[in-house]
Amino acid sequence: MNTPIFNALTEYMDKKGVSFHMPGHKGKNTLIDWGKYIPYIDVTEIEGMDNLHNPTGIIEESQRLSAKAFHSKETFFSVNGTTGGIYIALAAATDPGDKILIQRNCHKSVYNGIILNRLIPEYIYPHYNKKYNLITGINPEDIELILSKDSDIKAVVVTYPTYYGICSNVEEISRIVHKYNKILIVDEAHGSHFVFSPHLPISSLEAGADIVVQSTHKTLPSFTQTSMIHVGTDRVNIDKLKTMSSLYQTTSPSYIFMASLDIAREYMETKGEEKLNSLFENIDYTLNRIRHMNNVFVFEGDAEDDTIWDFDKTKIILRINGMKGTELQRVLNKKYNIQLEMADYYYGLILTTLMNDREDFEKLISALTNIKKIDKNIPTLSVDFPPVNQILSPWEAFYGNKEECKLKDAVGKISGEFVVPYPPGVPLICPGEEITPEIYEKIRFLKENSVEIIGLLDYNIEKIRTIK
């Protein structure tokens, strides 16, 4: 068949590999027999169905059930993923020209939302843990210091947990944000499972956040691109949020996606805690087996780092001595048919969910046991964010006049593009920021170490668009 996408997907399926990556269902057809229903339930707003843009029937009921399950005042489905949900949340909480405070390591979708809504960003930088070469949490006192000096800020956006499962003190952040009468938006893309177990970090809704956007598909068993927007307090203008939801979402929402959200929510309510407890047992079993391997280090927190308020134990962050994280990811995939969620220069990230079983973990243990110790040191690299010099607002630069030039010749110029390592999808530089020598060297280093970089026009020649 001359169908390259389908061919690649069937080849991936036939490998029957171990999935330690999203989506949360892990490719296991266990909730319902989807093959019996697709494509028969791929319908539109016919009689007997409902309309996501004006729900009065089954969608309204399903969203109400989700609000109850996740402890929100109201819940709305986002079939354009958490990216669409972030756009909606930002638009609901601000007006064009407003200033917002965001984590510098927010996902690219937050930056896109800033451009779409023509907002002015101010940044708060997360802590860089030099001991473990990890970006960790946000210090709530830093947020208070900025809010106390700048009354023009309308909303604060934080990521909780981070891609690596690190949780800042979201309760204290919520208290501070509300002390200054601002809106707290939480990108909880990786934390939709928190509410279903007392052994996981507190959910940001329970911590007092105003708007929470979750990627249901990342850690729960729903399909990719299915997310939820939760409203936590009366500070949110519900009517405006509904209007923005209709503006940013497709007019042809997938009923398969919405059914997937419905089924995943019901599954978590009935079996979630039991399945999560089983997952925790498998994780503890695995950690006990690999902690004592001479060549393996597992990051499980740092008591001296007070920006790590809590940690999501369903994420396993590990490294092999003498091996880059990207190399570990490649070896596990090519040699052992184990796919990790992501890897950086130092670590591989194992993203587990309640759909991973003991067999998956046994295969991981076996692979790590067989990887020989490497007697070499890899060069030390700081993964801290280089300081940025914002010359223009992101939207001014994004829509400004641009020219192409080689990356090495762009130093000192203003970027007209995002430059984003994937994963985790956090911009290294944004439109409107100066391309400094430090940023140039960082991009070169990441490329040389097999980290995919989005935003370069010609990946080999390394061209970029800059402001004229």
Q: 223-279: per-residue pLDDT in tens?
A: 999 999 999 999 999 999 999 999 999 999 999 999 999 999 999 999 999 999 999
Per CATH, domain 394-467 is 3.90.100.10 = yes
In a 13 Å sphere around the CA of 59, the CA atoms on its Cβ side amount to 22
> What six digits make up the tokens of 112?
């896109």
Percent of the chain past pLDDT 90, that is, above it, reads 83
Please count the residues of the chain.
Answer: 468
Longest dimension (CA), the chain: 67
User: For residues 385 and 323, which has the higher predicted lDDT (pLDDT)?
Assistant: 323
Distance CA 174, CA 208 (A): 6
Contacts of 279 (CB under 8 A, 6+ apart): 314, 352, 353, 354, 356
- Predicted pLDDT at 422: 76
The CATH code for residues 19-25+273-370 is 3.90.1150.150
Q: In the predicted model, what is the mean pLDDT of residues 209-214?
A: 98
Which H/E stretch holds residue 88? Answer: helix 81-93
Q: Which of 92-101, 321-330, 338-347, 415-424 has the lowest mean pLDDT?
A: 415-424
Q: Give the pTM.
A: 0.95
Phi, psi of 262 (to 5 degrees): -60, -50
The single-letter code of the amino acid at 270 is T
Q: 138-183: per-residue pLDDT in tens?
A: 999 999 999 999 999 999 999 999 999 999 999 999 999 999 999 9
Distance CA 416, CA 403 (A): 9
Neighbours of 123 (CB within 10 A): 16
- Predicted pLDDT at 294: 85
Most confident of 26-35, 198-207, 396-405: 198-207
Distance CA 349, CA 343 (A): 6
The overall average pLDDT reported for the chain is 94
Q: Please, are residues 440 and 407 in contact by the beta-carbon 8 Å criterion?
A: yes
> What six digits make up the tokens of 204?
């940001």
| Topology (CATH) of 37-264 | Aspartate Aminotransferase; domain 2 (3.40.640)
Distance CA 465, CA 398 (A): 10
User: For residues 8 and 378, which has the higher predicted lDDT (pLDDT)?
Assistant: 8
Q: Please, are residues 155 and 183 in contact by the beta-carbon 8 Å criterion?
A: yes
- Predicted pLDDT at 402: 94
Which H/E stretch holds residue 341? Answer: none
Domain-by-domain residue ranges, the chain? 19-25+273-370, 37-264, 394-467
- Predicted pLDDT at 423: 67
